[in-house]
Structure 1
Amino acid sequence: MVTEKRETKRGVFFRVEDLEDYAIIFVPAEKHEVYLKAQKILLDQVICISALRGKNDLLIVEDIVWPDVPLKKHNRAPIPICAALLSDLHVGSKMFMEKEFKRFVRWLRGEIGGDKLRELAGRVKYLIIAGDVVDGVGIYPQQYDELEIKDLHKQYERAAKELEEIPDYIEIIIIPGNHDATRRALPQPAISREYAKPLLDLGSHLLGDPSVISLYGVTILLSHGRSLDDIIASSPSMSFQSPEEAMKVLLQCRHLAPIYGMRTLIASEKVDHLVIEHVPDIFHAGHVHMMKYTTYRGILVVNSGTWQKQTEYQKEMGHIPNPGIIPVVDLQSFQVFTIDFVSAI
């Protein structure tokens, strides 16, 4: 495990330790390929190294290996059934895009869109929300002034009202985010029943963060993506405009929150539930309000964006979201259809 990292003109020094001892390792800058790997290493990350012993027990690194995921062949649904992937509705915020969300619901009902889009809507069997159903209260500075609904119970009542028009044959699966009514530390239990009763009354399935589900044999890893902030902040090559790249790092680390002590709160538990023990077919997260997707070693990696316009806090942070765009995944072909409900329908 990496406990210290120091970059110099000569290369990168690390302090690594296991349960028995520690060592200082060095990656020379002239070993370009290994040096690029070293720059991406995170504190608290578990790695394997191949090294030669130098002076004063310094280990000169020959290669670095991450836990990573193996190349994977998709499990596929036997029929062309689809899942709509959502996150970060932020119901209760003045910036919640109610008009666009209602347009999405009307599309699911087959009321709008051309023939191909209506045919696609008819194949959607699952709606999966990766956290931040509501905006919450007291989550960030000056949030109160940006709330349309300032009571947390009423935010969930409004969220249920927005979801109740979704066709009954579509199953709704929801995990919490950092704005939802549950503990802040990972792993998060499902949204508290005290607040979530309106969602439960709809027949929604409320799960914790992280969760692993299987739909027609397709395994989906769900996490809100809180630790993406830490990954992006710790990696010069990462940005909030490309969250799928940070999600790939989590797969390489085989852990959903590999850095300890930054913005992501991690609960102390006997078992680490944040380890990515089983390799999924799909990895779905949200949090950063940027809809992007990619494939990594056979895994479909999707960050499902948001239904909230840019907030003042995001403006201060220089983050520009792309709201109102939804990815729909065909669980048989793994084709991803992106639909823009701001301008396309």
Structure 2
Amino acid sequence: MTFANPYFLLLLIPAVAAVLAALVGGSGTGARLSFPKPAGLQPEKTFYAAMARNLPLILRLAALILLIVALARPQKVSRQEIPPSEGVDIMLCLDTSPSMGGLDFDPYTRMEAAKRTASEFIAKRPGDRIGILVFGGVPLLQCPLTQDHAALQEYLDSTYLNMTHRDGTAVGDAIAASVAHLRHSTAKSRIIVLLTDGRSNTGSISDPTLAAKAAASYGIKIYAIGTAGKGPAKVIMQDPLTGLQQFGIIQDDLDEDSLSEIARITGGDFFRATNYSELQNIYSRIDSLEKTKYKSRVDINYQDKYMLFLLPALLLLLAEYLLSRIVFVRLP
């Protein structure tokens, strides 16, 4: 325990001296109503008798001591060492176009596999700011950069197929939007994890490598992940008129060349995942590649404890008042 205002403790010296003087046998002041006492019943001049006679004074002085300690603001000190954080700003750029309902990531759809592995990735990086941007025909910021990973996980869980309600795959626009949210970051490392199962076929930026060059100019790396099995795949689709789910077939339309070039331009890397296990390994690889250590620090917290002394002091003053008015009544 420590004190925020220790100089108040100097007042304890005269207060303690006054208590000792009262205990030694001060007789008190003021006239008392006295009666003749039979022989053998004379008052005892003992320590306990003196203490009883001066109980109100002792209570008052004890309350004063407690008040002085409360004024000194006793505090409980706790120290917590904060481990080094990784300190990377990451934008998870997730394709939510209808083809992400492909069933070639058994037992999950491409979308479910992407969300599960992203969730595992987030859990491994508690010191990073991470955001989520989804895209289909247009980009949509799902969650800005944040270190509140509990909230981030909730936003990730609420991501769904065709979330932008616009057909197509606007890879260039998605990269540009991610860059816009990262370019003012002061983190030592800024990256985009771009996950898609197709090729850029819509949007205002028809050539996604142009957006990649903009990212490179800001020192932002792009790790591109292609999530598609080899060959045709079954897909769950929703009928826009009835809302009923139905199965269809999609062809392998992953543009590996474009994604590889996007990664190369920014100094990142391209990976292709054809199943859930490969996608997990890719995220683990990215996790190991992007770490920036910061020095650990010690957080010191001070918790005031003056109420532990103030409340007893008030109770003692109340007791002294009642004793003086009821038990130890003095004549004027």
TM-score of the aligned structures, taking structure 2 as reference length: 0.30
- Normalised by the length of structure 1, the TM-score is 0.29
Greater C-alpha Rg:
2
Higher relative contact order (CA 8 A, sep 6+): 2
More helix by share: 2
